[in-house]
Structure 1
Amino acid sequence: MSEEEQREERKEKVLRVSGGTDCHRLGASIAHVVAKDGHDCIIESIGAGAGNQAEKAVITANGILSRQGIYLSIIPSFVSRVVDGKERNAIQRKVLVHRL
Structure 2
Amino acid sequence: MEVLKVSASSKPGLVAGALAAVIREEGTVEMQTIGAGALNQAIKAIAIARGFVAPSGIDIYCIPAFTDIEIGGEKRTAIKLIVESKK
TM-score by length of 2: 0.95
Structure 1 residue 13 corresponds to structure 2 residue 5 = no
Deviations 1:54-79 (A, max 9, x none): 00000010010001110110000000
- Of 46, 52, 56, the residue aligned with 1:68 is 56
Structure number, greater radius of gyration: 1
| Greater RCO (CA < 8 Å, at least 6 residues apart) | 2
Amino-acid identity (%): 32
Partner of 1:33: 22
Compare the two structures and name the one with the higher strand fraction. Answer: 2
Q: What SS does the aligned partner of 1:20 have?
A: coil
Q: Distance in 2 between matches of 1:62 and 1:46?
A: 22
Q: Distance in 1 between matches of 2:62 and 2:27?
A: 13
Partner of 2:37: 49
Cα deviation, residue 87, structure 1:
1.0
Q: Distance in 2 between matches of 1:38 and 1:70?
A: 12
Cα deviation, residue 34, structure 1:
1.2
Gaps of 5+ in 2: none
Q: Distance in 1 between matches of 2:20 and 2:11?
A: 14
TM-score by length of 1: 0.83
Gaps of 5+ in 1: 1-11
| Residue-pair matches, total | 87
| Counterpart residue type for residue 37 of structure 2 | G
